[in-house]
Chains A and B, each alone.
Chain A
Amino acid sequence: MLKRIRLLTTILVFVLLTATWTACNGDTTEDTDGSNGNDNDSNVDNSEAAISVGVVYDVTGKGDQSFNDAAAAGIERAENELNIEYTELTPNKDGSDRAELLQLAADSHDLVVAVGFLYEPFVVDAATENQDVQFGVVDTPMLDFESDPSGQPYGDNISGLVFTEHEGSFLVGAAAALKSQTGTIGFIGGVANAGGLIEKFQAGYEAGALAVDPEITIFANYITEAPDSTGWQAPDRAQEIALSMYENGADIIYHAAGGSGLGLFAAAKKHSETVGSKVWAIGVDSDQYHTVDPEVQDYVLTSMLKRVDVAIFELVKSTIEDNTEPGAITYDLAVEGVDYSTSGGFIDDIVEQLESLKAQIVAGDIDVPTVPNS
């Protein structure tokens, strides 16, 4: 027993000594070792920055190659072009510290950008407490419909960045219908009933496909339903769903499932290779042709672009210029807030038709639904 205690003490002393040693050498190691794994790009030494921004990601965090990465692209562009400094924050896995993250971010930044509508109630609280800090929330209008049915901004310092995802999804739905050989396409949503957000993607996609081909068959499936939000980060389950859709005749599948989408691309490759005829996947939020692994790149037909990056860049810019707009800031087809991508050149032959549909939506000739029929 004594021996054991001695061993433990030795380990403890060793560790403490090492710790002290690294503490003394802290300055030098930090300079050489920029990548401490934190993805933290704050340039605290840059004292001339116009403003400092705290970016609070959603639970999935950076690296989903989709929604959160689109937000990251926006803030990175702002850093390059607008001389700002920023800190990136991600909540605990269960999202239990959203309120505190916002509060901490507000303590030391001029603008706090919350990525995801789940932040809505917490931002209202934090913004009321910190009147001198600007807040922006992605994917919710930040309008108070409860005290006024027409919607009033929660406060002068709160903006909501909303997108007409149904319009962008309409165009990729049309592209899917135009390109489908089998007359069957699919849709995979991340989490159903999560504020009705993903249903908007589904509604637009189905309407777009039916507008081109009224006879088309559309499979629609969600990975999980709220409150189970694991559907955003379940590539394995997305892959299973995608494979079963492909096996039942679908040859193009669109996903609105955040990090789970990676499973769809893997499924497209797998099915194409086993069956010998090519099936496609459609990306979402970012131009996923450029974000996915090169080996599945050739299966990304197009992506529904949701320019979270543009919205965040513009929000940073307007904060610097001190002319932010409280309440909802809408990014639609007309301002290219949503769009489709042509990377890879797979849909070059139908761009003309898609552009004409786009013009009709912008002109108001086509009214895209936000709630699915089924």
Chain B
Amino acid sequence: MLTASAPLGAVGLAVAFSSLVLIISGSNPIEAYRDMLGHAGKLEVQVDILNRVTPLYLSGIAASIGFRVNLFNIGVEGQYILAFLVAAHVGSLLTLPPVLHVTLILLVAMTVGAALSGLAGVLKVIRGVHEVISTIMLNAIAISGLVAWLVVEWQADGGTRRTGGRVGTEPIADSGLLPDLNGFLEMFTRDLGQGRQLESMLLIAVAVGVIYHFLVNRTVFGFDLRAAGVNPTAAHVGGVPPKRTIVTAMLISGGVAGLVGMPELMSTGYFPSNPVLNLGFTGIAVALLGRNHTVGMFFGALIFAFLDKSSSILQITSSATREIVVIMQGLIVLAVVVAYQVVAQIRKRQEAAMAMLNQLT
């Protein structure tokens, strides 16, 4: 009961404080919430939300694998953008049978992400470079260096046939793209309008979530990972190889990070001059919100996606400023951290009381 009270209390707190902010800023919270929920009630918007959940969830998992060993992989941002670009380029170079082509593109993305992240892991193990420093530096090298250079090198037709927002890499043949899930979804609901597509990367993201859960909780490696995270010294004494655990964790984290850009690639087929950025950083918040738990992070991603998609309707109805959604995202993360701290303290006190009772009897 105590476990469930923390997330619920956190959401309650966040809603309460958001309402206060709304009232102070001169908006009516009930009206704003009504608009937001009403908007999210539409099937098309729900598809938008799920499409946003996919990269956020993947990014959250990537960050959480590092968190499990007390590693702060801030490099998800650079890892997924570089992986996105390289996968888009490699995918456009060849045509393969559909399943193979898609698999190859996803593998390339995971490899690039893992390589960049693994580099930070190796630097930490061999030279003791803190992963926060090295991943920040690698982000800069990847985004402002490699990607900025390669995106011009690999531009379709030297950028002549496409204008403005269409500039990007050569498009991938249809065999390299995943079909959308509209047909499946429409069996249960109605026809999707307004050109919306439910991206099938959602299924892959869910699969990654399930694998993550089993890897961490049901394997020897997962045990090593958690042990090294809770108490590295004890884990080392207990036979957990610390260096190998760190490098492996970074490799897996980067591999998952490589997938973060794939929903966009699989729906558009090329790397544009303006890919959606910052997913790597939002993933850290999602991991915090979900307490590194498979299901928790999914709900975390869902809340973030819902709020992201609410900013547009608030501007149309003008019931609140669009910035409120960012404030709410921040408040929720804060509230979760506080709520879990409070629950942990209560639990500790209860345990102490129990121990005292046991001693007395």
Contact = CB atoms under 8 A, between A and B. Distances in A.
Interface of A: 1, 4, 8, 11-12, 15-16, 18-20, 22-23, 26, 29, 33, 35-38, 40, 42, 87-90, 92-97, 100-101, 103-105, 108, 117-122, 125-126, 128-129, 137, 139-141, 143, 145-146, 149, 192-197, 224-229
24 contacts: A12-B12, A16-B19, A19-B30, A22-B29, A26-B28, A36-B26, A87-B315, A89-B312, A92-B311, A94-B278, A101-B315, A104-B316, A121-B166, A125-B195, A128-B195, A129-B193, A145-B162, A194-B273, A195-B167, A196-B159, A226-B273, A227-B81, A227-B274, A227-B277
B148 interface: yes
Interface of B: 9, 12-13, 16, 19-20, 23, 25-31, 44-45, 48, 52, 81, 143-144, 147-148, 151-152, 159-167, 193-195, 268, 272-279, 308-309, 311-313, 315-316, 318, 320-323, 326, 342, 346, 349
A19 B29 contact: yes
B140 to A, nearest CB: 9
A197 B277 CA distance: 20
Of all A-B residue pairs in the complex, the 6 with the closest CB atoms, nearest first, are A117-B164, A140-B164, A120-B165, A225-B148, A40-B318, A118-B165
A103 to B, nearest CB: 5
Contacts of B274: 95, 118, 194, 226-227, 229
Nearest to A39: B321
B346 A226 contact: no
Contacts of B309: 97, 100
Contact of A94 (B20, B45, B276): B276
A42 to B, nearest CB: 7
B30 A227 contact: no
Contact of A197 (B161, B164, B318, B342): B164
A42 B315 CA distance: 10
Given A117-B163, A227-B274, A36 B23 contact: no
B308 A118 contact: no
Contact of B273 (A93, A103, A227): A227
A280 to B, nearest CB: 30
B29 A96 contact: no
Contacts of A36: 25-27, 318, 320-321
A15 B28 contact: no
B164 A118 contact: yes
Contacts of B321: 36-38
Contact of A195 (B25, B81, B163, B313): B163
B165 A225 contact: no
Given A37-B26, A37-B321, A129-B193, 10 more contacts: A4-B342, A12-B12, A19-B23, A22-B30, A36-B27, A90-B322, A100-B309, A146-B162, A192-B148, A196-B159
A335 B98 CA distance: 52
A92 B282 CA distance: 13
A229 B276 CA distance: 11
Contacts of B312: 89, 97, 100-101, 104
A96 B164 contact: no
A145 B164 contact: no
A225 B349 CA distance: 54
Contacts of B151: 193, 226-227
B327 to A, nearest CB: 12
A229 to B, nearest CB: 6
Nearest to B323: A37
Contacts of A120: 163-166
